[in-house]
Amino acid sequence: MTRRVAILISGGGSNMETLVKSMTGDHPARPVLVLSNTPDAGGLAKARALHVPTSVVDHRPFGKDRVAFEAELLKVLKTAKPDIICLAGFMRILSPEFMQHWSGQMLNIHPSLLPKYKGLHTHARAIAAGDSEHGCTVHVVTPELDDGPILGQAKLRIQPDDTAQTLAARVLPLEHALYPKVLRRFAAGDPTPVTLEQ
């Protein structure tokens, strides 16, 4: 049975775009919704151009009331009946109560080689630590931030002249290569982790 995928974004949506474009032909999943928490997310236009339904649940009117924000998010998501949720640059932290609706079926891409550098500023932190390699990770979302079983990683070598900006620019294409591969395996029920090296 074809798995229904909703993709949550907050910004440019380049990962969303590669995921949507990958779900064709004999792919075991199809995109059913792209949802943003910011009305001006560039990814919304990209999703519309790809003929994927879009929704916005703006977090700002809810202020600090995460319960009310998530209730609205849930209402909108449930209308699309997704089996799998892909977080793709979605910059809101979700509660364990929210996650339980798609327990084990919510994926996230994070721009570091987890378990290193959970949270923000991953590229600058990898450079500051003097790391020789860096990359990105797709994992199952669990209540701990940027934790949960790792489904795939893509690595590159940090160059002596790398800055946080150059590293971000070199990691992003790795994300685009990794996330669709992981989603395809995950949707097919194949537990083999994906490893990509540059």
The catalytic residue positions are 110
In 3-state terms, what secondary structure has residue 166? helix
Q: Which range, of 27-35, 72-80, 108-116, 189-197, touches ligand GAR by CB under 6 A?
A: 108-116
Interaction of residue 14 with ligand GAR, rule CB under 6 A: yes
Distance, CA of 20 to CA of 7 (rounded, Å):
9
Cα–Cα–Cα angle for 6, 35, 139, rounded to 5 degrees: 50
Interaction of residue 111 with ligand GAR, rule CB under 6 A: yes
Q: What does R_g of the chain's alpha carbons equal in angstroms?
A: 16
Selected from 109, 154, 182, 183, the binder of ligand GAR by CB under 6 A is 109
Q: Quick one: CA dihedral 148, 154, 158, 163, positive or negative?
A: negative
Amino acid at 13: G
Selected from 3, 29, 47, 175, the binder of ligand GAR by CB under 6 A is 175
Q: Which residue is nearest to ligand GAR (CB)?
A: 89
Interaction of residue 94 with ligand GAR, rule CB under 6 A: no
Interaction of residue 137 with ligand GAR, rule CB under 6 A: no
Interaction of residue 172 with ligand GAR, rule CB under 6 A: yes
Residues contacting residue 82 through CB under 8 Å, at least 6 positions apart? 4, 5, 6, 32, 33, 102
Tokens of 103: 């327990």
Interaction of residue 164 with ligand GAR, rule CB under 6 A: no
In 3-state terms, what secondary structure has residue 177? helix
Q: Which residues bind ligand GAR (CB under 6 A)?
A: 9, 11-15, 43, 88-89, 109-111, 136, 172, 175
Summarize the annotated binding site for (6R)-10-formyltetrahydrofolate as residue ranges: 66, 91-94, 108
